[in-house]
C-alpha cells in the first residue's frame, strides 16, 4: 500500500523535500493510516510533521479517549501534537449549520491555525476512495452540476489527500496486518448524518445487490466527468470573455443577452456558474434550478429580478442580465463598517443581515427572500424555510398551515418579508377580487396592537401570504406552473 500511495503522491506533485506538513488525525482508521504512511515517508523526503486533533465536544469520554490515544501516538513517535477543543453543537446552533458542517469548519480552522503558526506549506487530509464515492453521490442528490460530480480533488491549494487512491477496506487491512490500533467513532456507525445514510443504506446495498465494484465505478465515472469538465471550462472561459462585462465600480457582472443566446445551453450554464463563483467564491448552495431561473430571465419582462444564494441578485435589463451582491445589503454592511464596528462584530452583522438569518425582534424588518434560506421570526416563534421545486403534473399540493406552495414566476417584484404598509392588499378569489390588508385584519378580529407586528410575505403592495394565515389566490400553483417557491414553518427553533 505504501508504494501505491507514494506513486499517487508523485503523480499529483503532493510533496517536495523539506515540506512542513499539518496532518489532521482524529484517531480513526483513515487518519491513523495517513499518520503512519507520512511517518515512514518523512525520513525519505526530510519533511516535518505537525499533528492536529480536534475534540468536537460531542461524545464525552469517548472523545477524550480519542484525544489521549492520538497524543500518545505522537509522543511515542516524537511528532508535534496540537489539540483543539470546541463545542461543535453550540457552534452549529449559533451559526445555523448542521453539526456535520460546523465540525468541518472547526477542523479546517484548526488546521490553518497550525499551518500559519508553524510556517507550514501543506495540510494532509485522510480522505479515501470511499469518501470520494460518497461525496460524488451526495452532490448528485443535491442537484450539483458536473464540477460537483468530479469528486474530491487530490490537491487543492495547499491541501493534499494522499489516501484518495486507497479504499477503506484496504486501509483497515493494512492496519490489521501491521497490528496498528485505532479508535472507532460511534457517530460514523449511526445514520444521523446524510453521508452516513449514503454509506450504510445506498453504497452497502449497491455493493451487495448490484456490483461489488461500485466504489471503483463511481470514482472512475468521476474521472471521466473531470475530463469533460476541463474541456467545458476551457470553452466557457472563451465564451465568458465574449459575453460578460465586469463593471468594477459597481462590482456588477453584465451578461449580454444576444451574445449569451448564441452559445450552447451547456456553455450558458457554465457562464452563470462562473459568475456565481466570482461573486461568492463558492458554489455549495448553488443548485441547477438557480442557474435555470437565471436563464429563464432571457424571456422575462425587463425589471424581473431574482434573489439567489449568498445574497446575489440577478436582474433582467433591456440588453443584459446583471448579477451582483444585493446592493441594499452591501449598503447596510458598509454603514456598519463606517461606524467602526470591530471586525468580529462586522462578521456577526454580516451573518445576520447579508445572509438574512434573523428578523428583528421589535418589528419585522424588511428582508429580501433568498432561496434557499432560513429566517427566524420572533413574533410568531417560527423559523421560515425557503426552497425551489420544479413542478410536475399531479404533484400533491400541501394542505396544511405550515407549508405553502407559490407559483414562483407569478411574483413580479422582489419577494419581501415585512410588516404591513399603507395600500397593501390580497387577492381573495380566482376572479381577481381584492381586499385591503387593513380590512382583512379587522374581519379576522386581529387586535389593533398586533396588526403592525404580523409578518407578511409581499410582492410590492400585493400580499402573497399573511405568514401562518391566508394566502393570495393570485400566486397559487396551477397546471401551468413551472417552478414552485415552497415556504415552510418550524416552531420553537430558537427556544432556550
**Fold (CATH) for 248-355:** 3.30.465
The top-scoring range by mean pLDDT among 51-60, 156-165, 344-353, 414-423 is 156-165
The angle formed by the CA atoms of residues 324, 329 and 333, to the nearest 5 degrees, is 115
Please give the average per-residue pLDDT across 189-199, as a whole number.
Answer: 68
Please give the average per-residue pLDDT across 151-158, as a whole number.
Answer: 90
Please give the average per-residue pLDDT across 349-365, as a whole number.
Answer: 41
Q: What is the pLDDT of residues 291-325, one digit of tens each?
A: 888 999 998 888 888 888 888 888 899 999 999 88
In the predicted structure, residue 345 carries a pLDDT above the cut 60:
no
Indicate the CATH number for domain 2-219: 3.40.50.620
Which of 201 and 350 is assigned the larger pLDDT? 201
In the predicted structure, residue 329 carries a pLDDT above the cut 50:
no
Same fold, 2-219 and 248-355: no
Residue 229 CA: distances (Å) to CA of 136, 266, 399:
14, 11, 42
The band of 443, judged by pLDDT with boundaries at 50, 70 and 90, is: confident
Please give the average per-residue pLDDT across 434-462, as a whole number.
Answer: 87
Residue 243 CA: distances (Å) to CA of 290, 320, 321, 355, 437:
20, 9, 11, 29, 45
In the predicted structure, residue 411 carries a pLDDT above the cut 50:
yes
The CA-to-CA distance between both ends of the chain, in Å, stands at 51
Gyration radius (Cα) of the chain, Å: 26
Which of 281 and 284 is assigned the larger pLDDT? 281
In the predicted structure, residue 253 carries a pLDDT above the cut 90:
yes
pLDDT at residue 188, rounded to an integer = 57
Residue of 200, 194, 188 lying closest to 66 (CA atoms): 188
State the DSSP code for 471: B
The band of 339, judged by pLDDT with boundaries at 50, 70 and 90, is: very low
Residue 282 CA: distances (Å) to CA of 121, 230, 353:
23, 18, 19
Q: How far apart are CA 145 and CA 124, in angstroms?
A: 27
The residue whose grid cell reads 457552534 is 91
Range in 227-231, 288-292, 431-435 with the lowest mean pLDDT: 288-292
Range in 308-317, 393-402, 457-466, 486-495 with the lowest mean pLDDT: 486-495
Contact residues for 198 (Cβ-Cβ < 8 A; gap 6+) = 134, 137, 138, 141
Residue of 139, 121, 159, 133 lying closest to 34 (CA atoms): 159
pLDDT at residue 187, rounded to an integer = 59
The band of 67, judged by pLDDT with boundaries at 50, 70 and 90, is: confident
The band of 365, judged by pLDDT with boundaries at 50, 70 and 90, is: low
In the predicted structure, residue 32 carries a pLDDT above the cut 70:
yes
Count CB atoms within 10 A of the CB of residue 297: 20
pLDDT at residue 111, rounded to an integer = 92
The top-scoring range by mean pLDDT among 258-272, 290-304, 388-402, 414-428 is 258-272
Residue of 192, 209, 231, 206 lying closest to 136 (CA atoms): 206
φ and ψ at residue 143, rounded to 5 degrees: 90, 30
pLDDT at residue 99, rounded to an integer = 78
The residue whose grid cell reads 450554464 is 269
pTM assigned to the model: 0.62
Q: What is the pLDDT of residues 213-223, one digit of tens each?
A: 899 999 999 99
Name the grid cell of 35: 499518520
Which of 474 and 93 is assigned the larger pLDDT? 474
Q: How far apart are CA 18 and CA 312, in angstroms?
A: 43
The strand order across the sheet containing 159-160 reads 80-85, 48-55, 20-24, 122-124, 159-160, 155-156
Please give the average per-residue pLDDT across 107-116, as a whole number.
Answer: 91
Q: What stretch of H or E contains 246?
A: strand 244-247
The top-scoring range by mean pLDDT among 81-95, 442-456, 471-485 is 471-485
φ and ψ at residue 269, rounded to 5 degrees: -65, -40
pLDDT at residue 290, rounded to an integer = 87
**Cis before 258 (ω within 30):** no
pLDDT at residue 208, rounded to an integer = 86
In the predicted structure, residue 136 carries a pLDDT above the cut 60:
yes
The residue whose grid cell reads 403592495 is 461
For helices 214-243 and 265-280, what crossing angle results, to 10°? 90
Look at phi and psi of residue 443 and say left if phi exceeds 0, alpha if psi is from -120 to 50, else beta: alpha
Taking the domains of the chain in order of start, what are their residue ranges? 2-219, 248-355, 356-491
Residue of 358, 384, 400 lying closest to 490 (CA atoms): 384
Q: What stretch of H or E contains 429?
A: none
The angle formed by the CA atoms of residues 329, 335 and 337, to the nearest 5 degrees, is 105
Which of 196 and 51 is assigned the larger pLDDT? 51
The top-scoring range by mean pLDDT among 161-175, 327-341, 379-393 is 161-175
Task: DSSP for 354-418, please give it.
Answer: TTT-B--SSS---EE--SSEEEEEGGGTEEEEEEEEE--TTPPPP-SSSEEEEEGGG--S-EEEE
Q: Among residues of the chain, what percentage have pLDDT more than 70?
A: 88
Q: How far apart are CA 2 and CA 222, in angstroms?
A: 24
Q: How far apart are CA 418 and CA 425, in angstroms?
A: 14
pLDDT at residue 342, rounded to an integer = 40
pLDDT at residue 174, rounded to an integer = 92
Amino acid at each position: 500500500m505504501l508504494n501505491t500511495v507514494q506513486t499517487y503522491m508523485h503523480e499529483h506533485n503532493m510533496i517536495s523535500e523539506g515540506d512542513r506538513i499539518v496532518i489532521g488525525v482524529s484517531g480513526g482508521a483513515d487518519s491513523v493510516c495517513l499518520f503512519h504512511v507520512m511517518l515512514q515517508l518523512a525520513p525519505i523526503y526530510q519533511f516535518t510533521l505537525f499533528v492536529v486533533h480536534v475534540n468536537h465536544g460531542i461524545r464525552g469520554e469517548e472523545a477524550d479517549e480519542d484525544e489521549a490515544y492520538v497524543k500518545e501516538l505522537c509522543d511515542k513517535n516524537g511528532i508535534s501534537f496540537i489539540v483543539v477543543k470546541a463545542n461543535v453543537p453550540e457552534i452549529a446552533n449559533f451559526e445555523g449549520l448542521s453539526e456535520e458542517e460546523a465540525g468541518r469548519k472547526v477542523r479546517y480552522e484548526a488546521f490553518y491555525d497550525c499551518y500559519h503558526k508553524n510556517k507550514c506549506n501543506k495540510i494532509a487530509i485522510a480522505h479515501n476512495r470511499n469518501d470520494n464515492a460518497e461525496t460524488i453521490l451526495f452532490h448528485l442528490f443535491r442537484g450539483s452540476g458536473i464540477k460537483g460530480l468530479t469528486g474530491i480533488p487530490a490537491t487543492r491549494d495547499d491541501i493534499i489527500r494522499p489516501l484518495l487512491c486507497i479504499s477503506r477496506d484496504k486501509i483497515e487491512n493494512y492496519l490489521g496486518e501491521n497490528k496498528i490500533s485505532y479508535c472507532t467513532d460511534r457517530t460514523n456507525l449511526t445514520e444521523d448524518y446524510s453521508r452516513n445514510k449514503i454509506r450504510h443504506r445506498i453504497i452497502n446495498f449497491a455493493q451487495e445487490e448490484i456490483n461489488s465494484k461500485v466504489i471503483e465505478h463511481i470514482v472512475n465515472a468521476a474521472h471521466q466527468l473531470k475530463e469533460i469538465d476541463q474541456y467545458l471550462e476551457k470553452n466557457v472561459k472563451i465564451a465568458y470573455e465574449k459575453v460578460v462585462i465586469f463593471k468594477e465600480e459597481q462590482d456588477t457582472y453584465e451578461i449580454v443577452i444576444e451574445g449569451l443566446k448564441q452559445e450552447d445551453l451547456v456553455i450558458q450554464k457554465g457562464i452563470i456558474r462562473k459568475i456565481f463563483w466570482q461573486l461568492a467564491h463558492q458554489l455549495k448552495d448553488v443548485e441547477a434550478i438557480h442557474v435555470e431561473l437565471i436563464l429563464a430571465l432571457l424571456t422575462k419582462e425587463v425589471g424581473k429580478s431574482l434573489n439567489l444564494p449568498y445574497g446575489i441578485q440577478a436582474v433582467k435589463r433591456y440588453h443584459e442580465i446583471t448579477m451582483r451582491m444585493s446592493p441594499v445589503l452591501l449598503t447596510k454592511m458598509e454603514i456598519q463598517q463606517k461606524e467602526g464596528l470591530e471586525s468580529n462584530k462586522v462578521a456577526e452583522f454580516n451573518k445576520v443581515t447579508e445572509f438574512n438569518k434573523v428578523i428583528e425582534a421589535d418589528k419585522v424588518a424588511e428582508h429580501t427572500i433568498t432561496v434557499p434560506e432560513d429566517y427566524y421570526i420572533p413574533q410568531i416563534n417560527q423559523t421560515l424555510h425557503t426552497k425551489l421545486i420544479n413542478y410536475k403534473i399531479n404533484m400533491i399540493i400541501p394542505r396544511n398551515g405550515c407549508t405553502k406552495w407559490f407559483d414562483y414566476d407569478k411574483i413580479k417584484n422582489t419577494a419581501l418579508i415585512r410588516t404591513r404598509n399603507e395600500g397593501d392588499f390580497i387577492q381573495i378569489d380566482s376572479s381577481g377580487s381584492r381586499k385591503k390588508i387593513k380590512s382583512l385584519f379587522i374581519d379576522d378580529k386581529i387586535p389593533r396592537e398586533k396588526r403592525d407586528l404580523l409578518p407578511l410575505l409581499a410582492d410590492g403592495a400585493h400580499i402573497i401570504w399573511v405568514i401562518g394565515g391566508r394566502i393570495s389566490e393570485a400566486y397559487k400553483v396551477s397546471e401551468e406552473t413551472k417552478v414552485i417557491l415552497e415556504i415552510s414553518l418550524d416552531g420553537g427553533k430558537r427556544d432556550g
